[in-house]
Amino acid sequence: MMPTPSTSTPELLSTPDDLRRWSLACRAAGLSVGMVPTMGALHAGHRALIDRSVAESDRVVVTIFVNPAQFGPHEDFARYPRSMDADLRMLASAGVHAAFVPSVETMYPPGRVTRLDITGPLGERLEGASRPGHFNGVALVVTKLLVAGVPDRAYFGQKDAQQCAVVRRLVRDLDIGVEIVVCPTVRDTDGLAISSRNVYLSTEERVRARAIPSSLATAIAQFEAGERDATALATTVRSCLENAGLDVDYVAVVRAEDFTEVERAAPTNQIVLAARIGSTRLIDVVRLGVDTAPVGRGV
Ligand code: PAF
């Protein structure tokens, strides 16, 4: 039977020990625990993860922590959007039971000597090449959250496809024993994937950003019409982006499990991309043979 969502303010947990005690108490009472790791600035994409977790778990904890370890020295850690009051209101309205909101000092006590390295194409190609050390930082914080929070399931968004593959792999490599649930990308009406970083876009940039879903829609149509040459598909996407004045970081057709690039595209392969519009870097992904074309096609 599905638990009735609570509409009261979620319990605030601020240390990993608080989180562990809360979760173990839930589990001792026979209640399943779902976790939604976030960096806050919650939007409709997060809400979809939270709603799924609330539907599938007896108790839900959302973690809000802008993780410095996953930002490079010249990235947007300092200006990353933060909206704690609005986030907590959203968690209450979604029926979330607990919010884990630690400080940087609590998560990373001075003197730390332990790190995690995500090696091979998964850690070092595409997002990993463009953002050196990024996945090591993601892996470290996600491992800490899963180990402290001992959830039954943890929820991540498909938009961060390489991150999802990294998390699945580290859970397997480290025998963490948590089910990783990947939820579909939530898109705006014009097809742009919803992201906390969309707030950086000016009105004019926001219009040009439609080239991202539009380029992917064109490649999906090509794939559906029989094109299997990965270079041809990637070239289609790249040309659409460049024609709209976007600065392309990468476009690739990859295997979903390990992010190795393929020469012949097959169903379940993914087209992944990163591009800059002004100073804003956005990523997106579609799963061939699975995702329908993002709206915005032909824009
Ligand atoms: O996807 C994110 O918001 C972050 O990378 C995550 C998974 C919460 C780790 O900081």
Of 43, 46, 97, 134, the catalytic one is 46
Q: What is the pLDDT of residues 212-222, one digit of tens each?
A: 999 999 999 99
Ligand 1 pocket test, candidate residues 100, 141, 144, most atoms within 8 A of CB: 141
Shortest-distance Cα residue to atom 9 of ligand 1: 138
- Residue 81's pLDDT band (cuts 50, 70, 90): very high
Q: Indicate if the pLDDT at residue 1 is higher than 50.
A: no
CATH architecture of 11-183: 3-Layer(aba) Sandwich (3.40)
134 is catalytic: no
Q: CB of 64 closer than 6 A to ligand 1?
A: no
DSSP assignments along the chain, one per residue: -PPPPP-SPPEEE-SHHHHHHHHHHHHHTT--EEEEEE-S---HHHHHHHHHHHHH-SEEEEEE---GGGS-TTSSTTTS---HHHHHHHHHHHT--EEE---HHHHS-TT--------HHHHHSTHHHHSTTHHHHHHHHHHHHHHHH--SEEEEETTSHHHHHHHHHHHHHTT---EEEEEPPPB-TTSPBP-GGGGG--HHHHHHTTHHHHHHHHHHHHHHTT--BHHHHHHHHHHHHHHTT-EEEEEEEE-TTT--B-SB--TT-EEEEEEEETTEEEEEEEETTTSPPPTTTT-
- Residue 83's pLDDT band (cuts 50, 70, 90): very high
Shortest-distance Cα residue to atom 3 of ligand 1: 38
Shortest-distance Cα residue to atom 1 of ligand 1: 38
Ligand 1 centroid vs 245 CA: distance in angstroms?
29
Record the pTM. 0.94
Q: CB of 160 closer than 6 A to ligand 1?
A: yes
Ligand 1 centroid vs 232 CA: distance in angstroms?
32
Q: What is the pLDDT of residues 191-238, one digit of tens each?
A: 999 999 999 999 999 999 999 999 999 999 999 999 999 999 999 999
Q: CB of 51 closer than 6 A to ligand 1?
A: no
Q: What is the pLDDT of residues 31-62, one digit of tens each?
A: 999 999 999 999 999 999 999 999 999 999 99
Delimit the domains of the chain by residue range: 11-183, 196-287
Ligand 1 pocket test, candidate residues 67, 80, 127, 159, most atoms within 8 A of CB: 67
CATH topology agreement for domains 11-183 and 196-287? no
Q: What is the pLDDT of residues 259-297, one digit of tens each?
A: 999 999 999 999 999 999 999 999 999 999 998 877 543
CATH number of the structural domain 196-287:
3.30.1300.10
